[in-house]
Amino acid sequence: MASHIGKLPVTIPAGVEVKIEGQNFSAKGPKGSDSFVIPEGITGKVEGNEIVLVPADDLRPTRAKHGLARAIIASMVKGVHEGYAKTLDIVGTGYRAQLKGKSIEFSLGYSHTITVDPPEGIEFELPNANQVIVKGTDKQAVGQAAANIRKLRAPEPYKGKGIKYSDEHILRKAGKAGK
């Protein structure tokens, strides 16, 4: 019984170069380049315009790594071809962000402003003062950078004030009950 995800081939889109040398996998595309070390017990092959990962045996840890490696490689290929982006909304009176060089300065109701520098391979975009777009080629790094920004002022359940993902729905609570 093989991994259902692992046995699916990864299609290589036009404009993306892929190299597999031993256990080292690298992808290069219009948005950038990325590399990954394929776990032991799994071999990768390029067949035409597809990447196929083959496990050495059918043991449980190998099956788990098989699916994981395939998912990471598929994310890398998509990242160097299209890139990833997460949009955050800043909700609240007086809450805003402004670009300072490559960094963002947040005013979130604290007595001070908070400056966030972009990690390696990540860039910030501000369409307006209440919206931040985190972009990059690495899916995990984009998600982590967005989560770190959201953590600065997580949305509260009464008025919904704070930083939230644009597709996130905040469950609202009723305030104090009046007489």
Q: Does 5-82 match 84-165 in CATH topology?
A: yes
φ and ψ at 150, to 5 degrees? Answer: -60, -35
Give me 11's structure tokens.
């299609």
Within a 10 A sphere around the Cβ of 164, how many other Cβ atoms?
18
- In angstroms, the CA 34 to CA 173 distance is 44
The reported pLDDT for the residue numbered 4 is 86
Q: What is the band of 63 on the pLDDT scale with cuts at 50, 70, 90?
A: confident
Which residues contact residue 128 at a Cβ distance below 8 angstroms, ignoring those fewer than 6 apart? none
| Element (DSSP H or E) covering residue 70 | helix 60-81
**Cα angle, residue 114 at apex, residues 123 and 133 outer, rounded to 5°:** 30
Is residue 94 predicted with pLDDT exceeding 80? Answer: yes
Tell me the pLDDT tens digit for each residue of 4-40: 888 899 999 999 999 999 999 999 999 999 999 999 9
Domain limits, the chain: 5-82, 84-165
Tell me the pLDDT tens digit for each residue of 131-166: 999 999 999 999 999 999 999 999 999 999 999 999
Q: What is the band of 115 on the pLDDT scale with cuts at 50, 70, 90?
A: very high
In words, the CATH class of domain 5-82 is alpha beta
The reported pLDDT for the residue numbered 24 is 94
**Cα angle, residue 119 at apex, residues 114 and 124 outer, rounded to 5°:** 70
Is residue 179 predicted with pLDDT exceeding 90? Answer: no
- In angstroms, the CA 119 to CA 44 distance is 30
The reported pLDDT for the residue numbered 7 is 87
The reported pLDDT for the residue numbered 175 is 85
Averaged pLDDT of the chain:
92
Q: What is the band of 70 on the pLDDT scale with cuts at 50, 70, 90?
A: very high
Fold of 84-165: Outer Surface Protein A; domain 3 (3.90.930)
Is residue 93 predicted with pLDDT exceeding 80? Answer: yes
